[in-house]
Amino acid sequence: MATTHSLWQSVLGEIELSVSHATFATWFQNTELLDDNEDNITIAVPNVFAIRQFQIKYDDQVKSILKKNGVDAKVINYVVNTKGKKTVINRETTKTAPPKEEFMQLPQTRTEQIASNTLNPRYSFDNFIVGSSNDLAYTACHTVANSPGTKYNPLFLYGGVGLGKTHLMQAVGNKIKATDPSARILYINTETFTKEFIEMIRFKKSGFSEKYRNVDVLIIDDMQFIAGKEKVQEEFFHTFNALHQANKQIIISSDKPPKSIPTLTERLRSRFEWGMAIDIQMPDFETRCAIIEAKANLSGITLGKETVEYLAANIKTNVRELEGALNQLLAYAEMRGIEPDISTAEGLIGNVRRTRPQHITSKQIIDRTAKYFQISTIEMCSAKRDKHIVLPRQIAMYLLRSELHLSFPKIAGELGRKDHTTAIHSIEKIEKAIKLDFSIREHVAEIKDKLYA
Ligand code: ADP
Ligand code: MG
């Protein structure tokens, strides 16, 4: 029987053939099979962002390739590889860096997006990062891509701008096309549909209905633009019925759910609600970190953890802006020949942490932390052991150490403790938690932000 190492190498070899170069480099490159006992398969992945990607996106694939290699895994545990790994900026990774064109495909502007009415190969499931904000949408799109016209018809995705609706819908189209090159897939923006409809009427152009009804998959983006346009709605109603009756897949996106699109005729609204309507939200901190990591890796750069978290903590509007900030940072650093590190990011994003630790006092750290957790400073420094007080107290100790480099006895003293080992244990606990628990990281990042604001 193959050794654990060689078994994993052959699994990786197979995976490398089926995912993009960038995906492989980002998620698979530094993985390891720790234990291949069938009842206890454990795979170490490079960082905590990777765990969810594996659980949601790659679990089935890994299982099936393991099975081909003689290991029938029912459950796979994913853990963070705690052995030394690079977290520093690494511009020398050209060996593993993807071809330049993959990076060049990334940045995009809004105008480009509105103008495009064809499938763009840049959008794939592969480079879509999943998290709790979008995993339902991802899964539904994946299901539709695997068997169009059978489940979830229509599939209706809604959510704010820049959250990945177009990306996911296009990924469905691209996947179907890849599986069946003869499939007739039409991706269209609602504005274009409207424009063509008006031209048909005004100039008596023919071919409009045929164009939209002779397809296997109709992907229609930004349905909110149909609001208030009764004739267009009527035409779309007939298009919808023709396709739906023929079991053709329809995928719709909008910035709001069907019931909130103003002046949508009742019959169209009810059609939209026949299938599945799913919302996409702003990714949480964890997913934002994963998106930044993945996109930086695409350009062959491994950003420091601090930089990734700084961007994720400061850009909470949408993924397009997150991408924009990252591209700006990379371009700026490249132009100046400097590292895209946290201070470069701070300079660019604004929200600069002007003061450095010497300007901050332990009182400020304790007060800020208490305020953040909505407890009083007195409670924080009291002998109370309630859970909602213990964690803030431990975080305050951690910050006193990381920001002011105080000694353990001093830290204990600041929080009304006599025994300095309490401080040692608390700080160790938070240091560990920061590696594994995103809510703690986010708390710490936000308190620091407030401290230096
Ligand atoms: P929407 O159509 O919802 O306005 P887009 O699909 O155009 O948003 O997404 C905006 C940008 O953000 C695109 O470049 C897209 O690739 C990227 N993006 C959004 N969500 C994700 C994600 N989960 N993973 C990777 N990239 C994403
Ligand atoms: Mg869009």
Provide the pLDDT for residue 1.
55
- 78-106 tens-digit pLDDT: 988 766 443 333 333 333 333 333 333 33
Least confident of 173-182, 201-210, 252-261: 201-210
d(CA 1, CA 10): 13
Examine the pLDDT at 284 and tell me if it is beyond 50. Answer: yes
- CATH says 362-452 is which class? mainly alpha
Q: 449 CA to middle of ligand 1, Å?
A: 26
- 344-384 tens-digit pLDDT: 898 888 754 443 445 789 999 999 999 999 999 999 999 99
Check pocket membership of 163 for ligand 1, CB cut-off 6 A: yes
Q: Whose CA is nearest to atom 1 of ligand 1?
A: 162
Q: 186 CA to middle of ligand 2, Å?
A: 15
d(CA 388, CA 395): 12
CATH placement of domain 135-279: 3.40.50.300
Q: Whose CA is nearest to atom 26 of ligand 1?
A: 128
Can you give the residue ranges of every domain in the chain?
4-113, 135-279, 285-353, 362-452
Percent pLDDT > 70 in the chain is 90
Whether the bond into 121 is cis, omega within 30 of 0: no
DSSP code string of 265-313: -HHHHHHHTTSEEEE-----HHHHHHHHHHHHHHTT----HHHHHHHHH
DSSP state of 93: G
Examine the pLDDT at 193 and tell me if it is beyond 90. Answer: yes
- 122-156 tens-digit pLDDT: 999 999 999 888 999 999 999 999 999 998 999 99
- 167-188 tens-digit pLDDT: 999 999 999 999 999 999 999 9
| Nearest Cα to Cα of residue 385 among 373, 393, 374 | 393
Nearest ligand 1 atom to alpha carbon 131: 23
Topology given in CATH for the domain delimited by 4-113: GMP Synthetase; Chain A, domain 3 (3.30.300)
Q: 19 CA to middle of ligand 1, Å?
A: 19
> What average pLDDT does this structure show over 246-269?
92
The packing angle between helices 319-336 and 285-298, to 10°, is 40
Q: Which residue has the higher pLDDT, 433 or 395?
A: 395
Q: Which residue has the higher pLDDT, 77 or 95?
A: 77
Q: 123 CA to middle of ligand 1, Å?
A: 9
Pick among 1.10.8.60, 3.40.640.10, 2.60.40.1120, 3.40.50.300: CATH of 285-353: 1.10.8.60
Which residue in this structure is represented by tokens 């951690």?
398
